[in-house]
Amino acid sequence: PRWLQAIPKHEILDAAPFQGLFRPVARCRDSRQLEREEKRRRLDQEEWRRRRQGKFCREIVAQCENVFKRGRATRADAARMAKHCKQRLEQESHRLEAEETKTARRRLQALKSRDMAAYSKLVEETKNHRLKYLLEQTDGYIRQITQQVKSLREAEETGERR
């Protein structure tokens, strides 16, 4: 370059390195190889990035599928448990109903055989408050009628004595 020629020779130790910097790129043989290496390096980086991104996407899809599977399994477990609970409740209600029917039959049998002590005992065992109330009312009326009959008899006896 001209500016390099303008510098006095005694100030420049070696001019060759400076001249090499300013050579045209087209004349440089190494530049083509450098460009090829740079292109290959960029392609390798792009390939690596694509592989990494593909792997990441596959992992996301796999995780999504796992979440859906767990959700389905959880819902299936909940449905199974609900079905089991429903069956247990139905069994319990059938058992209670059968027991209630059995006690009602025993009460009727005691009532038909005119065994009031057994009937009262069976009524006391049941949790039927309405039946207990009716039995108490009936007992009260029977006591009241019995008292009235006694009082009428006493009145008749005292009337006959006079």
Integer CA distances (angstroms), 21 to 1, 11, 28, 67, 121, in order: 11, 19, 10, 61, 121
Mapped onto helix, strand or coil, the DSSP state of residue 115 is: coil
Question: How high is the pLDDT of residue 4?
Answer: 62
Please provide the distance, in angstroms rounded to a whole number, between the alpha carbons at the two ends of the chain.
169
pLDDT of 99 strictly over 70 = yes
Question: How high is the pLDDT of residue 149?
Answer: 95
Give residue 30's pLDDT band: very low, low, confident or very high (50, 70, 90): confident
Question: How high is the pLDDT of residue 17?
Answer: 58
Give residue 162's pLDDT band: very low, low, confident or very high (50, 70, 90): low
pLDDT of 54 strictly over 90 = yes
Give percent of the chain with pLDDT exceeding 70.
80
Q: What is the mean pLDDT of residues 81-93?
A: 96
User: How far, in whole angstroms, is CA 99 from its chain's centroid?
Assistant: 35
Buried (b) or exposed (e) across 100-133, using 16+ Cβ within 10 A? eeebeeebeebeeeeeeeebeebbeeeeeeeeee
Residues 110 and 125: their CA atoms lie apart, in Å, by: 14
Integer CA distances (angstroms), 14 to 9, 19, 87, in order: 9, 10, 101
Global pTM exceeds 0.85: no
pLDDT of 78 strictly over 90 = yes
User: How far, in whole angstroms, is CA 37 from its chain's centroid?
Assistant: 58
User: How far, in whole angstroms, is CA 18 from its chain's centroid?
Assistant: 77
Question: How high is the pLDDT of residue 46?
Answer: 95
